[in-house]
């Protein structure tokens, strides 16, 4: 791994191009390159919808269905968030992606001293089922799916989602939630972990096991290469670690005696789009192929549709800059193009003001429109995998495949993904790569418009989302009111049951649903887990 | 080794925010620039940070905050430092910091603010200059 860079002569002619994953790009490609890599259409790519799905998982791609748009949304109180959800839906957004505030993500109630200053800041505050009732009011939960971007306490949020759906009269079998629920990636990047590796992975296993029969339309895990890449990993590392992490969750459920075909088809992925566009496109094509091969060869998956890498390809946060923020609108458009050319099932964009704070309705709608105009105006729905057969793209896809396999091999040799995360081995690799990239920006080997090239120009003023301190007060008042009105004996009974189930090592989901229905708080439920599981000890890196 | 004392820096992640790419990059850069660096790890309370700073006798406390809570966190840190009678430590803040908040942070007592996108060389040079004075 190294800094992606351009080797140039004194006349600015490019002599060599080195991508982040370490691949050298040639000035031009020809049929000879395909011969060199031993390209075999049926084996390496095949038609869309056919194994190994390099070209996409559906034979008709976006002709049969345009991608789902799912801007990451949530702030302040559930009332404010509900209003924003309805605004996005009224503008044609086809899915929800719920942003929770940090106290909720870390399992603290809004009135906990640890939550001070953070309530409703980077997402919506959720303490009890009452908050979900407000947040999802007037939203057709059997028609629109909801991503729940939460990990350490994803089991609690999934239980709460079932509880709110049932409260509003929906059958749990009819609703489709996608809790992010990928704790190993939180330990590598993003950092919203609570419990140690083993019980944290066990909780994920519980949600997968529970969803199989109770919420079969739910995608219980969204494996995120996304945040690993945000933290500094190369595109090859992003995919390598994501596949290994997914395998760790599969292993947990297999150990409970299930057939892999019973559940693996509901896995989904969340992958990043910033960086060199060719490298990203090749990455997504290679990722589909490797995931399918991994499932077939390692796990003997039988059903074709269970081999699909279904994914949200989007975001691109690290690619956005604080300098000249309006340039981020253009960056977002190119990132979305990459996602569309790569056959994303679902997408979302970081909005142009997100190097400053969470988005305004104005910037969020620009992102949504960017996604919509690609599908409806620019012809991205016309034909599947339009870059297939390009000498360059096919060669690069094969080279990416090899790089990803090399990165997977390194981790397997180290002793596996769980050990590599628990020891901080991956965290060190990723932090090192992040530093290399930063040095590249510093030296100018890596160019970033507005940051180390084309810095001139008038500063752009952008209107920013303002944090509302009153939202926190309102949320705490609302929590106190719920606490007063709920049946304390019912709360005590359900929490006691949760404690018992947790201690016995049984699946916690049914007990969590009962706690949610009794209006137990997120902090109360997490408190039980904290007490029994303890907390993750971050490995020291420096 | 030179005679000059090495600058000792605590790179700290206060609060619940877990985005630590920036903190880890800065920690590596300060180390490469010859400083002694202690990284707090994630989810530290202000009290924990102040205690580490005292125990390790650092010259500089660097706070990395991406959640937007930089003002309440900085206020709390200076309150704690004052309560403990500590005045010999420079405090820096980095992360997602809107320009309009920089004067507010300086008023609270922060010595330097380095929002995302600041060149590492700038942070290092400023730290070297400032840490000598305290």
**CB within 8 Å: A102 and B16:** yes
Of B25, B98, B117, the CB nearest to A435: B25
In contact, B29 and B124? CB cutoff 8 Å: yes
Specify if B1 maps to a domain.
no
**CB within 8 Å: A108 and B16:** yes
In contact, A272 and A316? CB cutoff 8 Å: yes
Any idea which residue has 């490298």 for tokens?
A: A279
For A422-442, write each residue's pLDDT tens digit: 999 999 999 999 999 999 999
Give Cβ neighbours of residue B120 (< 8 Å, ≥ 6 apart). A438, A439, A442, B25, B26, B29
Judged by a CB distance cut-off of 8 A, whether residue B102 touches chain A is no
**CB within 8 Å: A431 and B28:** yes
- Using a CB-CB cut-off of 8 Å, the residues of chain A touching B38 are 542
Judged by a CB distance cut-off of 8 A, whether residue A106 touches chain B is yes
Q: What is the mean pLDDT of chain B?
A: 93
Query: Domain A64-382 classified CATH 3.20.20.240?
Result: yes
Cα distance between residue A507 and residue A528, in whole Å: 14
Binning pLDDT at 50, 70 and 90, where does residue A462 land? confident
pLDDT of residue B4: 66
In contact, A178 and A215? CB cutoff 8 Å: no
Cα distance between residue A215 and residue B4, in whole Å: 65
Residue B21 has pLDDT above 70, yes or no: yes
CA atoms within 13 A on the CB side of A82: 15
Q: How far is B5 from chain A (nearest CA, A)?
A: 21
Average of per-residue pLDDT across A175-179? 97
In contact, A181 and A149? CB cutoff 8 Å: no
For A396-425, write each residue's pLDDT tens digit: 999 999 999 999 999 999 999 999 999 999
Closest CA relative to residue A4, chosen from A438, A455, A451 = A438
Residue of A105, A191, A465 to mutate, testing the B interface (most B Cβ within 10 Å of its Cβ): A191
Which chain B residue's Cα is nearest to A460?
B99
- Domain count of the fold of chain B: 1
Closest CA relative to residue A510, chosen from A148, A3, A175, A158 = A158
Residue B3 has pLDDT above 60, yes or no: no
- Buried b / exposed e along A91-128 (16+ C-beta atoms within 10 A): eebbbbbbbbbbbbbbbbbbbbebbbbbbbbbbbbbbb
Judged by a CB distance cut-off of 8 A, whether residue B75 touches chain A is no
For A354-366, write each residue's pLDDT tens digit: 988 899 999 999 9
In contact, A49 and A309? CB cutoff 8 Å: no
pLDDT more than 90, % of chain A: 95
pLDDT of residue A5: 87
DSSP conformational letter for A41: I
Sign of the dihedral defined by the CA atoms of residues A448, A454, A459, A462, in that order: negative
Neighbour-count burial of A458, counting CB atoms closer than 10 A to its CB (0-12 exposed, 13-18 middle, 19+ buried):
exposed
Residue A3 has pLDDT above 90, yes or no: no
In contact, B5 and B57? CB cutoff 8 Å: no
CATH number at residue B118: 3.40.50.280
- Using a CB-CB cut-off of 8 Å, the residues of chain B touching A149 are none
**CB within 8 Å: B45 and A230:** no
**CB within 8 Å: B15 and A117:** yes
For A27-76, write each residue's pLDDT tens digit: 999 999 999 999 999 999 999 999 999 999 999 999 999 999 999 999 99
pLDDT of residue B1: 47
Cα distance between residue B121 and residue B130, in whole Å: 14
- Using a CB-CB cut-off of 8 Å, the residues of chain A touching B15 are 102, 117-118
Range of B78's domain?
Answer: 8-133
- Using a CB-CB cut-off of 8 Å, the residues of chain B touching A180 are none
pLDDT of residue B121: 94
pLDDT of residue B130: 87
Any idea which residue has 């997968």 for tokens?
A: A208
Binning pLDDT at 50, 70 and 90, where does residue A2 land? low
Judged by a CB distance cut-off of 8 A, whether residue A449 touches chain B is no
The domains of chain A are located at 64-382
Judged by a CB distance cut-off of 8 A, whether residue B2 touches chain A is no
Of A193, A322, A439, the CB nearest to B117: A322
pLDDT of residue A200: 98
Specify if B113 maps to a domain.
yes
Specify if B102 maps to a domain.
yes
In contact, B123 and B29? CB cutoff 8 Å: yes
Cα distance between residue B91 and residue B76, in whole Å: 13
**CB within 8 Å: A121 and B31:** no
For A121-136, write each residue's pLDDT tens digit: 999 999 999 999 999 9
For A269-296, write each residue's pLDDT tens digit: 999 999 999 999 999 999 999 999 999 9
Which chain B residue's Cα is nearest to A189?
B19
Secondary structure, 3-state, A402-449: HHHHHHHHHHHHHCCHHHHHHCCHHHHHHHHHHHHHHHHHHHCCCCCE
Residue A461 has pLDDT above 80, yes or no: no
**CB within 8 Å: A105 and B37:** no
**CB within 8 Å: B98 and A122:** no
* Pick from A25-39, A454-468, A479-493: least confident: A454-468
pLDDT of residue B131: 75
Q: How far is B6 from chain A (nearest CA, A)?
A: 17
For B122-133, write each residue's pLDDT tens digit: 999 999 998 765
Closest CA relative to residue A201, chosen from A259, A253, A160, A258 = A253
**CB within 8 Å: B121 and A190:** no
Cα distance between residue A63 and residue A369, in whole Å: 19
Q: How far is A2 from chain B (nearest CA, A)?
A: 15
Q: What is the mean pLDDT of chain A?
A: 96
The CA-CA-CA angle for residues B79, B117, B21, to 5°, reads 70
Of B24, B31, B120, the CB nearest to A442: B120
Judged by a CB distance cut-off of 8 A, whether residue A190 touches chain B is yes
Residue B72 has pLDDT above 90, yes or no: yes
In contact, A475 and A119? CB cutoff 8 Å: yes
Residue A458 has pLDDT above 80, yes or no: no
Cα distance between residue A379 and residue A429, in whole Å: 40
């Amino acid at each position: 791994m190294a800094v992606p860079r351009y080797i140039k002569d004194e006349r600015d002619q490019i002599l060599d191009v080195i991508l982040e994953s370490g691949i050298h790009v040639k000035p031009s490609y020809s049929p000879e390159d395909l011969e060199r890599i031993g390209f075999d259409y049926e084996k390496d790519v095949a038609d869309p919808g056919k194994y190994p799905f390099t070209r996409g998982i559906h034979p008709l791609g976006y002709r049969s269905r345009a991608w789902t748009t799912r801007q990451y949304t949530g702030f302040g109180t559930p009332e404010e968030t509900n209003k924003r959800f309805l605004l996005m839906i009224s503008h044609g957004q086809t899915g929800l992606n719920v942003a929770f505030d940090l106290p909720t993500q870390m399992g603290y109630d809004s009135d906990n001293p640890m939550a001070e200053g953070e309530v409703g800041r980077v997402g919506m505050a959720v303490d009890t089922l009452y908050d979900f009732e407000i947040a999802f009011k007037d939203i057709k939960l059997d028609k629109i799916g909801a991503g729940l971007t939460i990990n350490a306490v994803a089991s609690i949020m999934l239980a709460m989602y079932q509880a709110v759906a049932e409260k509003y009269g929906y059958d749990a079998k009819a609703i489709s939630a996608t809790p992010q629920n990928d704790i190993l990636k939180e330990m590598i990047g993003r950092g919203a972990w609570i419990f140690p590796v083993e019980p944290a992975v066990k909780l994920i296993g519980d949600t997968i096991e529970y969803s199989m029969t109770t919420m079969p339309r739910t995608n219980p895990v969204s494996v995120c290469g996304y945040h690993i890449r945000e933290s500094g990993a190369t595109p090859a590392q992003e995919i390598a670690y994501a596949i290994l992490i997914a395998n760790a969750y599969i292993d947990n459920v297999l150990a409970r005696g299930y057939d892999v075909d019973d559940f693996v088809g509901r896995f989904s992925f969340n992958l990043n789009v910033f960086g060199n566009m060719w490298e990203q496109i090749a990455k997504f094509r290679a990722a589909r192929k490797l995931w399918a091969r991994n499932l077939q060869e390692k796990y003997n998956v039988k059903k074709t549709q269970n081999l699909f890498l279904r994914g949200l390809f989007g975001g691109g946060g690290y690619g956005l800059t604080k300098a000249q923020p309006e340039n981020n609108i253009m960056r977002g458009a190119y990132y979305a193009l990459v996602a569309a050319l790569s056959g994303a099932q679902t997408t979302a964009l970081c909005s142009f003001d997100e190097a400053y704070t969470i988005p305004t309705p104005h910037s969020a709608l620009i992102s949504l429109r960017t996604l919509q105009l690609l599908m409806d105006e620019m012809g991205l729905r016309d034909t599947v995998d339009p870059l297939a057969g390009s000498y360059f793209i096919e060669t690069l896809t094969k080279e990416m495949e090899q790089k990803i396999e090399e990165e997977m091999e390194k981790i397997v040799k180290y002793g596996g993904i769980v050990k590599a995360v628990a020891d901080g081995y991956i965290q060190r690799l990723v932090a090192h790569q992040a530093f290399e990239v930063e040095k590249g920006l510093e030296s100018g080997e890596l160019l970033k418009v507005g940051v180390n090239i084309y810095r001139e120009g008038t500063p752009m003023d952008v209107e920013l989302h303002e944090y509302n301190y009153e939202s926190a007060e309102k949320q705490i008042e609302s929590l106190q009111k719920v606490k007063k009105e709920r049946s304390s004996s019912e709360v005590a009974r359900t929490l006691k049951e949760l404690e018992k189930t947790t201690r016995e090592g049984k699946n916690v989901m049914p007990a969590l649903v009962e706690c949610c229905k009794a209006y137990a708080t997120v902090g109360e439920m997490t408190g039980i887990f904290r007490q029994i599981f303890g907390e993750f000890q971050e490995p020291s890196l420096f | 080794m030179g005679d000059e004392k090495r600058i000792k820096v605590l790179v700290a992640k206060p609060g619940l925010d877990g985005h630590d790419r920036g903190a880890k990059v800065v920690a590596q850069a300060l180390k490469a620039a010859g400083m002694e660096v202690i990284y707090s790890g994630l989810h530290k309370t202000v009290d924990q940070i102040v205690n580490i700073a005292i125990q390790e006798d650092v010259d500089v406390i660097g706070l990395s905050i991406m959640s937007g809570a930089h003002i309440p966190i900085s206020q709390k840190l200076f309150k704690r430092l004052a309560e403990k009678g500590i005045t010999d430590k420079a405090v820096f803040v980095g992360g997602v910091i809107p320009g309009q908040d920089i004067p507010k942070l300086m008023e609270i007592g922060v010595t330097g603010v380095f929002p995302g996108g600041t060149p590492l060389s700038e942070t290092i040079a400023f730290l070297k200059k400032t840490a000598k004075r305290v």
